[in-house]
């Protein structure tokens, strides 16, 4: 078995829409004056997952969007309206 770096395991090619979603979430996070760690705690998600979402390197489910929207005190529609 070949050992790989963690970054190689999670490096995926995602759509421009995922990158745009990540940028939108990051802008709303900053507007809410939350750190990435605080957002992760509020949304009950791992910091690593929040990092990947903001960087647009993973796909996000609707339940996860609902958790993030709740933590940011916005509607899911506000997250995906970009």
Instruction: Kindly state the tokens that stand for 38.
Output: 């605080």
Given a contact cutoff of 8 angstroms between Cβ atoms, the answer to whether 14 and 59 are in contact is yes
> How many domains would you assign to the chain?
1
CA distance to 3, 18, 47, 68, 73, per residue, from 61 (Å)? 29, 11, 16, 11, 18
Residue 8 inside a domain? The answer is: no
Residue 53 inside a domain? The answer is: yes
Residue 2 binned pLDDT confidence (cut-offs 50, 70, 90)? low
Residue 9 inside a domain? The answer is: no
Residue-wise pLDDT for 18-58, tens only, equals 999 999 999 999 999 999 999 999 999 999 999 999 999 99
The model carries a pTM of 0.82
Whole domain around residue 61: which residue ranges? 15-80
Residue 7 inside a domain? The answer is: no
Residue 35 inside a domain? The answer is: yes
CATH number, domain at 65?
1.10.260.40
Residue 2 inside a domain? The answer is: no
| Per-residue model confidence (pLDDT) at position 6 | 53
Helices first, then strands: H and E counts in the chain: 6, 0
What single-letter DSSP state applies at residue 58? S
């Amino acid at each position: 078995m070949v050992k790989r770096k963690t970054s190689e395991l999670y490096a995926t090619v995602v759509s421009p829409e995922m990158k745009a979603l990540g940028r939108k979430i990051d802008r709303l996070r900053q507007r809410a004056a939350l750190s990435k760690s605080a957002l992760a705690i509020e949304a009950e998600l791992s910091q690593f997952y929040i990092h990947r979402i903001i960087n647009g390197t993973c796909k996000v489910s609707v339940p996860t969007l609902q958790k993030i929207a709740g933590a940011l005190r916005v509607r899911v529609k506000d997250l995906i309206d970009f």
